[in-house]
Amino acid sequence: MLFPFPEGRRAEAMRILLVEDEIRIADFIKRGLREEHYTVDLAPTGEKALFLAETNPYDLIVLDVMLPDGDGRGICRQLRGKKIHVPVLMLTARGSVEEKVSGLDAGADDYLTKPFAFEELLARVRALLRRDATVKTTSLKVEDLELDQLTRKVRRSGKEIGLSAKEYALLEYLMMHAGQVVTRTMISEHVWGDDFDSFTNIIDVYTNFLRKKIDKGFKKELIHTVRGVGYILKG
């Protein structure tokens, strides 16, 4: 079955970096975002945040102002200085106009004052992701296989194919890298995030699920195994 998501969301394929050192707040936000099918990585310090942001492709960064090793605004300036232009939603316990202005001037895209309702955080996340998505393609196509990132519908030869959320995220990632070999490590980091258990064969299992839905019954196979490395989706 296809999971209905609001227009503009790619949900689970979307990867968010949460920079928050307060364990209770971090767990609350992380759990809530994952329930909405986003992949979430957590950084408790600015140093860790900069490392992860330079290492991984994120769609959004949720950044707390008060961090144990510095100010979130300084981290935001460093991100922009490194040409990392991912949308940044800044969190702060101080909601003065001056505080918000300084955050926005540092390169943040939006500002949210603590305490906040999770529904408001989620709405701001969706808004920033939609804004960023306007400059991205919303349709992926390889041969007769089509994936619409707005409606989350997948079709092959005009026939609609129902996918689970994880199957959809895996297929989207493969299609975004069509013609390229993607390693199991790349898949685990983008589709599964930091909860991935490297001692399981879950990636192979889900790839086989996809093959049965995407390739079985069609003349041409699109998903190929690169032995010892990973997978490639090509015509």
pLDDT in tens, 25-62: 999 999 999 888 788 999 999 999 999 998 888 899 99
Average pLDDT over residues 3-31: 73
Question: Domain locations in the chain?
Answer: 11-133, 139-233
pLDDT at 10 over 50: no
More reliable by pLDDT, 11 or 225 = 225
> Distances in Å between the alpha carbon of 198 and those of 185, 187, 203?
9, 11, 10
The predicted pLDDT at position 143 comes to 94
The predicted pLDDT at position 212 comes to 95
More reliable by pLDDT, 103 or 12 = 103
The predicted pLDDT at position 135 comes to 52
Q: Top-level CATH class of 139-233? A: mainly alpha
Q: Top-level CATH class of 11-133? A: alpha beta
Answering whether pTM is above 0.85, one says: no
Locate 81 and state its tokens. 């200085």
Locate 198 and state its tokens. 């490297």
More reliable by pLDDT, 151 or 215 = 215
pLDDT at 167 over 50: yes
Average pLDDT over residues 94-111: 84
Kindly state the percentage of the chain with pLDDT values over 90: 54
Nearest to 113 by CA among 126, 127, 100, 128: 100
Kindly state the percentage of the chain with pLDDT values over 70: 89
Instruction: Quick: pLDDT tens for 132-166.
Output: 665 555 788 999 999 987 778 899 999 999 998 88
Long-range contact set of residues 112-120: C-beta below 8 Å, sequence gap at least 24: 114/25, 116/91, 118/28, 118/29, 118/32
